[in-house]
Amino acid sequence: MPDKPQKLFFKHILRKAFLEDWPLKLLALVITLTLWFGVTGLSTPTTKRLTIPLNLNISSNAQVTNAPQQEVDIEISGDKRKVEQINRADLLASIDLTEVQPGDRIIPLTPETVYVALPQGVKLVEVQPSRIAVKLEAVEEKDVEVRADTFGAPAAGFEVYTTSVLPQKIRVRGPASIVSILTYVQTERIDLTGRNNDLFAKQVAVTSPDAKAAVLNTFVDVTFKIGEKRVERLFSIPVAGTPEVIATFTLYGPRSVISGAKKDSFYVEIVKSDTGVDMPRVVLPTEWSETVEVRDLTIK
């Protein structure tokens, strides 16, 4: 009977394993099965199609000048739970064009060429459309004139004498085909309505007529010299020192100044030009220097 104790030992083990503490053992089994099904469900593969923005990464010395695809449809595959947790708003499709030379290009869109930041265990399997047309142009820079854009008229009886922009030219940058023919940029519109004196507009925004040509210096200062409306008046007076020689000329300036001008307020003299030639010159009162202009001066 040497094996009886051994049989009793195994019987005791089996009884302890299957009959004792069975509620705890049943709970452990349920937990184990739940975890197993959870892991199995997590690894169940699934696919999903999404429409997301497309971003073109290009060289700083090039610019896209056509209107290529803005969005692409992608298909992703991976663990079901991870795929379902993906938010479309967080995704962006990017393609690297930094090494692509300027010109008209057909760019393939494949899982190998398009990058989308996806969670581990999820992969990109398809991109639609499968290719796009892109026109790349070399970028150029140059300085162009700044023009002041205005609206409204000065007060009745007044006008703009001069408009000064500082700086007079600013640099623009953009595709060579656009920059090469661009001759000016302009300020935002400045209101001159009812003005009867000078206006100094500081830090006025500047924009390009073509949005693809970027303005590198976006602000300028603009000065408008505004005064009384100007008129012309013809004068004939003897040249100083030679009364037999008559000078004829037109004065152009503010109405009140020109209308009240008297012949003894100014005179004509003969001076040597830079080349040594005798030339007539009208000498005006100092206070007229910025507002009155001499036109069509001749002598007989």
**What pLDDT was estimated at residue 222?**
98
Domain extent listing, the chain: 45-129, 139-228, 230-299
Confirm whether 45-129 and 139-228 share one CATH topology: yes
Structure-token pair, residue 58: 């290009």
Residue range 45-129 forms a domain whose CATH class is mainly beta
**What pLDDT was estimated at residue 185?**
96
**What pLDDT was estimated at residue 297?**
95
What distance lies between CA 291 and its chain's CA centroid?
40
**What pLDDT was estimated at residue 69?**
84
Answering whether pTM is above 0.75, one says no
CATH homologous superfamily for the domain 139-228: YbbR-like domain (2.170.120.40)
All residue ranges of the chain with pLDDT < 70 are: 1-30, 32-43
**What pLDDT was estimated at residue 196?**
95
Phi-psi region of 241 (alpha: psi -120 to 50; beta: other; left: phi over 0): left
